[in-house]
Amino acid sequence: MLKPFISPLNKTPFFLLFFMASNVCALESDKEADFELDADNLVNLPQLNNGVARVKFWDNVTIQQGTLKIKADEAVVYSGSDGMEKVLLKGSPIEMEQFIDASYGKINIKAKQIDFMMKDKMLLMSGNVIISSKIQGQMYGEKISMNLKTKEIKGMKSKDSDNRVRLVIPGKK
């Protein structure tokens, strides 16, 4: 079991600081905005599993919903009768940003794969993950997950390398 990282600056668990204002860090207006996905190509994958359809987009994929902006090489959208259930993104790397609020600013994420499970409110990132914010610094890891319900964040090193999870918090200036 991973313990939350305790910031030496104020003894507050890092994941609480990181997600205090967030819901993957969304303004309320972002949740109400249209979900816009653009790409150079798409194919409707005809296999339906338990009523869930898949549509694959590739080449120059962009997603925007309010202040959320994503650039990826590929996206597969899984939809059911209740709407989108999951979006699987791949890239080299995927670039994701979202504005939190005036005091927190913007969060930036880079990864090779992001699996956003909307039903479960989980964000699974893998492949040289970097999460940056002006206030909280940078977190690095091979695999980082965010539970958007509980605001818990977990990081894991790669089994194939010695790259450990790392957090860099800027010093006071």
Give, for all 173 residues of the chain, the pLDDT tens digit: 333 333 333 333 333 333 333 434 456 777 788 889 999 999 988 777 788 889 999 999 999 999 999 999 999 999 888 888 999 999 999 999 988 777 777 889 999 999 999 888 899 999 999 999 877 788 889 999 988 888 788 888 777 767 788 888 877 76
> Is residue 173 assigned to a domain?
no
> Is residue 48 assigned to a domain?
yes
Q: Residue 138 CB: number of other CB atoms within 10 A?
A: 14
- Asked whether 99 and 78 are in contact (CB, 8 A), the reply is no
pLDDT of residue 12: 32
Specify the number of domains making up the chain. Answer: 1
What are the helix and strand counts (H, E) for the chain? 2, 10
> Is residue 8 assigned to a domain?
no
- Could you tell me which of 114, 103, 25, 28 has the C-alpha nearest to residue 71? 114
pLDDT of residue 2: 34
Read off the CATH number of the domain in which 66 is found.
2.60.450.10
Residue 29 belongs to domain spanning? 14-168
- Asked whether 4 and 165 are in contact (CB, 8 A), the reply is no
